[in-house]
Structure 1
């Protein structure tokens, strides 16, 4: 198999798998702790408004809904997970996918929290690192844990993918 195709296939499988692990964690957290998950319709709304030239909302929930926002948000959520898996493979190489280790997965997973802290939350009206939310410290901790779980998901998906021997 050509290396570029192998790289893309690994990124797709590992990124989608890790994102699914993160979603399972969010569902478990919601059930166990009565903690609401991110509404991906709002992510889709923000992304559509972004294409129309509007980055910042105050808050995004007050902005006009757009057709297909839920689907757009969920697709973007999985595509972003795939991009972070591609970053992992770009840094540590496709050999990581053949012999995954926990350290690189956690570095990328936890490091990925920079995206919501510095881009999405400010753009959606929550401020840098959730500074404009009612409980910023709790929101930050939830984000860090969730992205740590994404890192564990990268490792788990990498391990499962390595069994496929692509």
Structure 2
């Protein structure tokens, strides 16, 4: 496939979904081995579900009124976010990244994505900036950084077959 207008969105979807799934598998492993729970994506759906009603900040989100279909909405938003970050990787490093996916750019994007939960999601969900209102903020930050590094690794690992497939 040589048309960038077609190749870019296909690559972003495949790489973003692959990296997000890789991160989700990491979440299951982390929960089983160390008892560290992942984000309940129903709460992400609840947060997004309240936005059309003009509510963007919750203290905490778990106390907010549930939204119909919040779990499915949360998972959809989770994967769409992964796709958006994969598109960012491809936009910043260009289509040449697909020719020879490199780990460093994927890790830079993966680690950079931790700014979104630290500065947007956690404050909006009632956890404070960079989990400052949680019982163990340093531990929460560490787990967020590791999870986003795993997402970056997932971008790279997903980019390898996608680059081969599309080239």
Q: What's the TM-score bracket when you normalise by the shorter of the two chains?
A: over 0.9
Aligned-partner Cα distance in 1 for 2:144–2:113: 10
Aligned-partner Cα distance in 2 for 1:98–1:51: 41
Partner of 2:104: 103
Equivalent pairs counted in the alignment come to 166
Aligned-partner Cα distance in 1 for 2:119–2:161: 32
Partner of 2:163: 162
Partner of 1:52: 53
Aligned-partner Cα distance in 2 for 1:150–1:159: 14
Q: Do 2:60 and 2:125's aligned partners in 1 also have CA atoms closer than 8 Å?
A: yes
Residues 38-76 of structure 1: CA deviation (Å, up to 9, x unaligned): 100000000111221111101000000010000000000
Q: How does 1:33-72 map to 2 (within 5 A)?
A: 33-72=34-73
Partner of 1:23: 24
Q: Do 2:86 and 2:155's aligned partners in 1 also have CA atoms closer than 8 Å?
A: yes
Aligned-partner Cα distance in 2 for 1:42–1:142: 18
Aligned-partner Cα distance in 1 for 2:109–2:83: 12
Tell me the C-alpha RMSD between the 2 structures.
0.8
Partner of 1:124: 125
Q: What's the offset of the Cα at 1:37?
A: 1.1
Q: Do 1:98 and 1:165's aligned partners in 2 also have CA atoms closer than 8 Å?
A: no
Q: What's the offset of the Cα at 1:99?
A: 1.0
Aligned-partner Cα distance in 1 for 2:51–2:128: 16
Unaligned runs of 5+ in 1: none
Aligned to 1:65, the other structure's residue is in SS state: coil
Q: TM-score, normalised to structure 2's length?
A: 0.97
Q: Do 2:7 and 2:166's aligned partners in 1 also have CA atoms closer than 8 Å?
A: no
Residues 93-113 of structure 1: CA deviation (Å, up to 9, x unaligned): 112022100010000000000
Unaligned runs of 5+ in 2: none
Q: Do 2:127 and 2:133's aligned partners in 1 also have CA atoms closer than 8 Å?
A: yes
Aligned-partner Cα distance in 2 for 1:152–1:51: 34
